[in-house]
Chain A
Amino acid sequence: MKKIEISKLLPVAMLIALIIVGSQLSDSFFSIGNFANIIQYAVESALIGIGMTFVLMVGGIDLSVGSVLAFSSVVSAKMALSNVALPLIFLTVIAIGLACGLVNGFLVTRFNIEPFMATLAMMMIMRAVTFLFTGGGPLTGTVGDSFKQIIKGRTLGMQNGIWYVIAAFLLALLVLNRTRFGRHVHAVGGGEETSKLFGVNADKIKIAVYIISAVLAALSGLFIAARIGIGEPRSGQGYEMTAITICVIGGISMTGGKGSILGTFVGTMVVCMIKNLMNLMNINTDAQPIVTGAVILITSLIVSRELVNKRKKLVKEV
């Protein structure tokens, strides 16, 4: 009989445990209304989590997502405040993501900089650019109703946010599992040198995943701007940690090659439910990072332990 891998069961077990515990702790937790609410507010986390999944799959990391989100958010708010047409805003946002992702990808592949360092520097730079763009404070004014409807509107009776979450996960699932590109993302993460020998252009794949991550972050920025109706340069802080939490809980390996979008989905749900539950229980928002931080550490320690036990190497690793 095959040994059961804890790391595979962990995400679902956590989700179930959370639903049970949640409904005990708070009366309003277990209701369709609350779940719809959770998903509707999960849009940004879901998008960034999906982006991070792609990046982690090739063994990278993107710490710049929060700042890219902020920049795109203030730019789209500014455009909305000046009544620019929606399609143009969308295009600009995607262009921002594309540019940032391209820079990250180039720093990592062509310049051979450690991904965490390259994207950490980008995180600083983009945050500074965001503040420079707004001049420090938030951009306020009245935005058009159609802009707010991007996120607040309903389509076929369901909040747009929920549609976005569903669409994003389905699309990501398709891309990662059913396209050559997606298979090559798996391949590069599972063995970069080998996939190069097989003729996969690993650098191109890596640049592409950083672009995906940044574009999704930029789209999240647009959604945040539509939600709050202003351009807040401080938005998106700590989102890189949210994304990492989602992926770690979802069983995406931090060293590449292992993981699935379904894991990311469960991870997103777990993270957003924990957040929702903590809000329902009136836990101080400042204390919430302590809880999620502990969750990341414990989860990744379990997974890493299992990995070491599984390898059964003759020579004990240092």
Chain B
Amino acid sequence: MRDVFELKEVSKVFSHNTVLDDVSLTFKRGELHALVGENGAGKSTLIKIISGVYRADRGRLFLNGEPVQFMNPSDAQAAGISTLFQEIQEIPEMTVAENIFLRREPRYPGTFLVDRKKLRQSAKELMERLGLKIDTSAKMRELPVSTRKMVEIARAVSQKASVVIMDEPTANLNAEEMQALFQMIDDLKKEEVTIIYISHRMNEVFSLADRVSVLRDGKLIATMPGEECNEERLIPLMIGRELNSLYPARNASRGDAVLKVKDLSLGEHFGNVSFTLHKGEVLGFAGLEASGASAVTKTLFGLCGHPTGEVVCGGRKLNIKNPAESIRNGIAFLPEDRKTQGLFLNQNLLTNITAGALDSLFSKRAILHNRFERSQSGEVVRRLGVKTQGLHEHPDELSGGNQQKVLLGRWIIGSHKVLILEEPTRGVDVGAKSEIYRQINSLAEQGLAIILFSTEMPELLGMCDRVLVFSGGALTASLPKEEATQELVLKYALERHVS
């Protein structure tokens, strides 16, 4: 097997974060090379550099021994590298056939006119060859997620690429589709195509990979043959420390019930969800895509309109309608995407921190109390240890972890009863992670009731007093800390899972 693609000493820095640090890797012809690592380890950045979305700050790429430079994705494609990103790349308003052959539309010989018959024909043939039953004249937007993913994979196959990058390709597939995908992967390997494969599903990695590379904090930690891999060996390499040290101990005692939810339902998203949240408790919400876990938290904060059922917070029955109302009732919410949903990037830290309590704390008859704003937000910055030059700084000048602390600070101010956290440590480096965990603990110790929604299982297991597992829009299990294990959570998460 010859090397087909090689990275030499590649580095990438975004504003303050070194996302890739001196990574050198070789990919061999016809191998499936899996990349594993925690969220934020640099896997996505690495494949975006290979596929031409980003350019490396330092380092060089070699294709078949020749140095290459990709200015944009089409350069990479022209060189024979196709990429399946996590988000499906598609034009929803166009048909399956048009999507597959976009920019490669067959034309009547000697004319400018697209041969639509041949276009449909080729698409149909491709599907037959791959053993897929997909209506190629349907518009992409009319198809379910898994079918669209298969179309995308078919497109990559049809391009006759020499390198195919797959980022979590099985995320939305059911068992049958997964089998079809694995079959396609086998066929590709027989044709000497190199596959760079990213997945969180360890079993998949073990059974498919010829070689596995582990990334951590932007560095390449190890590369090993697939058959030598097992969980015991990989996970310590990925995390880089004992699991326990990341999650500090908490001294909170469970107090009175703060939030009582009874038979909460919202259309097709979830139904009959009931649970009770206590003072000082950290309650985990777990579930796969579309399980209802995140829909419940969003609904409680008033983002999804009017649910049915009963929600009692601090003894008052709530009429959930919008975030403003929920905040007034003592429910605070840290959204999953801090850049698009949380921060005001071009406003100063003071504005960012006080935005959640303008009416309740910082104004009298609509007139702002500027000095109080200043002292309070200064206090928050000190308490959370935000690394900053001062309150006049804008969040886009801070690192991810500090940005998250600023957002957390918004909800420390004021007298909230319930704090909902969605993916509080997504895209945050390990150091900042443990600091955020400490802050969550200290908030719980002060009597705040916390709901933690996360897709990172270790985080849920390490932080929560209890984990609620959702599947197919229903609450399928409530596991106390002592009983909760990865296997058990996954079992309940798959109980009613349909994709």
Q: Are A and B direct contacts in the complex by CB distance below 8 Å?
A: yes
Contact A198 B303 (CB under 8 A): no
Contact B305 A194 (CB under 8 A): no
Q: Once bound together, how far apart are the Cα atoms of A195 and B78, in whole Å?
A: 14
CB neighbours of B78 from chain A (8 A): 199
CB neighbours of B89 from chain A (8 A): 191, 194, 197-198
A305 within 8 A of B: no
Chain B binder among A44-52, A78-86, A97-105, A177-185: A177-185
* A124 smallest CB distance to B (angstroms): 30
Contact A183 B93 (CB under 8 A): no
CB neighbours of B112 from chain A (8 A): 179-181
* B28 smallest CB distance to A (angstroms): 26
Known contacts A186-B93, A198-B102, A316-B303; 7 additional CB pairs below 8 A are A179-B113, A181-B112, A184-B103, A186-B91, A198-B74, A199-B73, A200-B103
Which residues B25-64 have CB closer than 8 A to chain A?
53
A144 within 8 A of B: no
CB neighbours of A180 from chain B (8 A): 103, 105, 107, 112, 114
Which of A178, A179, A196, A257 has the most chain B CB atoms closer than 10 A to its own CB?
A178
Residues 279-316 of A, flagged 1 when their CB comes within 8 A of B and 0 if not, give 00000000000000000000000000000000000111
Lowest 4 CB-CB distances: which A-B pairs, in order? Answer: A199-B74, A190-B91, A190-B93, A197-B73
Contact A191 B295 (CB under 8 A): no
Contact B298 A315 (CB under 8 A): yes
Contact B94 A178 (CB under 8 A): no
CB neighbours of A187 from chain B (8 A): 91, 94, 102
Contact B90 A199 (CB under 8 A): no
Contact B303 A315 (CB under 8 A): yes
CB neighbours of B73 from chain A (8 A): 196-199
Given A195-B102, A316-B303, A316-B304, does the pair A190, B94 have CB atoms closer than 8 Å?
Answer: yes
CB neighbours of A179 from chain B (8 A): 112-114
What are 12 of the A-B contact pairs (CB < 8 Å)?
A: A179-B112, A183-B98, A183-B105, A183-B114, A186-B91, A190-B91, A190-B93, A195-B102, A198-B103, A199-B77, A314-B304, A316-B304
Q: Once bound together, how far apart are the Cα atoms of A181 and B269, in whole Å?
A: 41
Residues 178-218 of A, flagged 1 when their CB comes within 8 A of B and 0 if not, give 11110110110011001111111100000000000000000
Considering the complex, give the chain A residue whose CB is closest to the CB of B139. Answer: A190
A174 within 8 A of B: yes
Q: Once bound together, how far apart are the Cα atoms of A201 and B105, in whole Å?
A: 15
Considering the complex, give the chain B residue whose CB is closest to the CB of A253. Answer: B93
Q: Once bound together, how far apart are the Cα atoms of A191 and B105, in whole Å?
A: 18
CB neighbours of A258 from chain B (8 A): 93
B116 within 8 A of A: yes
Residues of A within 8 Å of B, CB-based: how many?
A: 24
* B72 smallest CB distance to A (angstroms): 7
Q: Once bound together, how far apart are the Cα atoms of A190 and B98, in whole Å?
A: 12
B65 within 8 A of A: no
CB neighbours of A315 from chain B (8 A): 298, 303-304
Considering the complex, give the chain B residue whose CB is closest to the CB of A174. Answer: B113
Q: Which residues of B line the A interface, CB within 8 A?
A: 53, 72-74, 77-78, 83, 85, 89-94, 98, 102-103, 105, 107, 112-114, 116, 269, 295, 298, 303-305
Considering the complex, give the chain A residue whose CB is closest to the CB of B85. Answer: A197
What's the A-B contact tally at a CB cutoff of 8 Å?
77
Given A178-B113, A179-B113, A314-B295, does the pair A195, B91 have CB atoms closer than 8 Å?
Answer: yes
* B438 smallest CB distance to A (angstroms): 30
Q: Once bound together, how far apart are the Cα atoms of A179 and B111, in whole Å?
A: 9
Given A190-B93, A194-B91, A199-B78, does the pair A183, B102 have CB atoms closer than 8 Å?
Answer: yes
Considering the complex, give the chain A residue whose CB is closest to the CB of B92. Answer: A190
CB neighbours of A197 from chain B (8 A): 53, 73-74, 83, 85, 89
Q: Once bound together, how far apart are the Cα atoms of A183 and B115, in whole Å?
A: 12
Q: Once bound together, how far apart are the Cα atoms of A175 and B114, in whole Å?
A: 10
CB neighbours of B92 from chain A (8 A): 190-191
Contact A314 B102 (CB under 8 A): no
Considering the complex, give the chain B residue whose CB is closest to the CB of A196. Answer: B73
CB neighbours of A196 from chain B (8 A): 72-74
CB neighbours of B94 from chain A (8 A): 183, 186-187, 190
* A3 smallest CB distance to B (angstroms): 12
Q: Once bound together, how far apart are the Cα atoms of A198 and B98, in whole Å?
A: 12
Q: Once bound together, how far apart are the Cα atoms of A199 and B91, in whole Å?
A: 13
Q: Once bound together, how far apart are the Cα atoms of A168 and B393, in whole Å?
A: 56
Q: Once bound together, how far apart are the Cα atoms of A195 and B93, in whole Å?
A: 12
Q: Once bound together, how far apart are the Cα atoms of A191 and B98, in whole Å?
A: 13
Q: Once bound together, how far apart are the Cα atoms of A187 and B74, in whole Å?
A: 15
Considering the complex, give the chain B residue whose CB is closest to the CB of A175. Answer: B112
Q: Once bound together, how far apart are the Cα atoms of A145 and B112, in whole Å?
A: 37
Which residues A243-272 have CB closer than 8 A to chain B?
257-258
CB neighbours of B77 from chain A (8 A): 198-199
CB neighbours of A178 from chain B (8 A): 113-114, 116
Contact B269 A200 (CB under 8 A): no
Q: Once bound together, how far apart are the Cα atoms of A258 and B98, in whole Å?
A: 15
CB neighbours of B72 from chain A (8 A): 196
CB neighbours of A316 from chain B (8 A): 303-305
Considering the complex, give the chain B residue whose CB is closest to the CB of A194. Answer: B89
* A105 smallest CB distance to B (angstroms): 19
Given A178-B116, A180-B112, does the pair A199, B93 have CB atoms closer than 8 Å?
Answer: no
Q: Once bound together, how far apart are the Cα atoms of A196 and B73, in whole Å?
A: 7
* B385 smallest CB distance to A (angstroms): 32
CB neighbours of B102 from chain A (8 A): 183-184, 187, 195, 198, 200
Contact A257 B93 (CB under 8 A): yes
Q: Once bound together, how far apart are the Cα atoms of A181 and B303, in whole Å?
A: 41
Q: Once bound together, how far apart are the Cα atoms of A124 and B348, in whole Å?
A: 38
Which of B72, B83, B93, B303 has the most chain A CB atoms closer than 10 A to its own CB?
B93
Which residues A220-248 have CB closer than 8 A to chain B?
none
Considering the complex, give the chain A residue whose CB is closest to the CB of B74. Answer: A199
CB neighbours of B103 from chain A (8 A): 180, 184, 198-200
Which of B83, B85, B89 has the most chain A CB atoms closer than 10 A to its own CB?
B89
Contact B269 A314 (CB under 8 A): yes
Q: Once bound together, how far apart are the Cα atoms of A178 and B105, in whole Å?
A: 10
Q: Once bound together, how far apart are the Cα atoms of A314 and B298, in whole Å?
A: 9
Q: Once bound together, how far apart are the Cα atoms of A198 and B78, in whole Å?
A: 10
